[in-house]
Amino acid sequence: MAKPKVLLYEEIHQKGLEYLSKHADIVWASGYEEETLCREAAEVSGIVIRAKGQASAKVMDSAPLLKIIGRHGVGVDNIDVAAATERGIYVANTPGVNNESVAEHAVGMMLALSKRILEGDQAIRRGHWDFRYESRGQEIMGKTLGVVGLGNIGYRVAQICHAAFNMKILYHDELSKPRAEKELSARKVELEELLRSSDYVSLHVPALPSTHHLMNADRLNLMKKTAFLINTSRGSVVDGDALYDALKEGRIAMAALDVHEEEPLPADNKLLTLTNTVLTPHMASHTEEAMIAMSMIARDVVRVIQGKAPQHPVNAPGK
């Protein structure tokens, strides 16, 4: 009896591939255009999607055997969840498995900015030893951290910063977070107050219409001139042009971005011309531990193909 087929948009860790291969034949996407994906999804029972490509209603309609779309990671903004639900297709993800990796990356970016580590590295490679006399970093100890979106990752960032650097924690979230208020002495405030009061602002919100360009020119202007902005959430949360202007004009001190409005980041992006930025290529979750854990979305894909419910469903088709 032939194995069911699963379409993978991108590579995943070998651990996940090995598990998936025991139960299904793997089909690799040859491109991310909708027409290509529709053609290659024609006979598959499952899809595993990462950051590239879309799982659109049209792709689903081209796959009559499709039972599940598994998201390698957490965010499902490149999956039409409503369309999947209407068609009786499960969407599942891997919640929580990259909390530590992304939180550590955000804190690492804070340190890199504060200590001007990237600039120092580039200077010494140019033979410019006197950069040590020209640069002035700052200590993180005792500063105020503003966390926008105090979910699992935002909480972990706050926890690290409070424990390691005795930072004061402000947060803005739709919900109150009693645990953070008790354990970290965190204080819930409106976004405007958070921006005015924080030395570091770390963004941890999903990509939604309500969060598109959440950090626009007006909100960037509320920040201290000495403040640092860190974004490891989604690129659309920050207006890149407004951020460039704020950094160029010295209206905020520095910014670190792991996610970008357009990915891959174009070579002519203006942020690349600035020295008061640290930019990474959407890699915050790319640790060995997190990559293994995310690849095990394979388990839920296999469960659903075998007629079981997924352990981590995003939707509830048929209800």
DSSP for 231-256, please give it: E-S-GGGB-HHHHHHHHHTTSSSEEE
Catalytic, out of 11, 18, 33, 263:
263
State the chain's mean pLDDT as an integer.
97
196 is known as an active-site residue: no
Average pLDDT over residues 114-137: 96
Which fold, 99-279? Rossmann fold (3.40.50)
Domains 5-97+288-305 and 99-279 agree in fold? yes
Q: What are phi and psi of 313, to 5 degrees?
A: -75, 145
In the numeric block, which tokens belong to residue 276?
């008061």
134 is known as an active-site residue: no
Catalytic, out of 50, 196, 212, 282:
282
Distances (CA, A) of 177 to 30, 116, 183, 192, 239: 44, 33, 10, 19, 28
Distances (CA, A) of 56 to 37, 248, 270: 10, 39, 32
Average pLDDT over residues 80-103: 97
Average pLDDT over residues 31-44: 97
Q: Whose CA is closest to 310, among 85, 82, 39, 90? A: 90
- Confidence band for 318, pLDDT divided at 50, 70 and 90: confident
CATH architecture, range 5-97+288-305 = 3-Layer(aba) Sandwich (3.40)
Average pLDDT over residues 246-258: 98
Catalytic, out of 156, 234, 251, 260:
234
Would the pLDDT of 234 be above 90?
yes
Q: Can you give the residue ranges of every domain in the chain?
A: 5-97+288-305, 99-279
- Confidence band for 319, pLDDT divided at 50, 70 and 90: low
What percent of the chain is modeled with pLDDT above 70?
Answer: 99
Terminal Cα distance for the chain, rounded: 32
Average pLDDT over residues 258-280: 96
Report the pLDDT value the prediction gives residue 2, as an integer from 0 to 100.
85
263 is known as an active-site residue: yes
Q: What are phi and psi of 200, to 5 degrees?
A: -130, 135
Would the pLDDT of 241 be above 70?
yes
Average pLDDT over residues 204-215: 96
Tens of pLDDT, residues 92-106: 999 999 999 999 999
Query: Distance between CA 6 and CA 120 in Å, rounded?
Result: 47
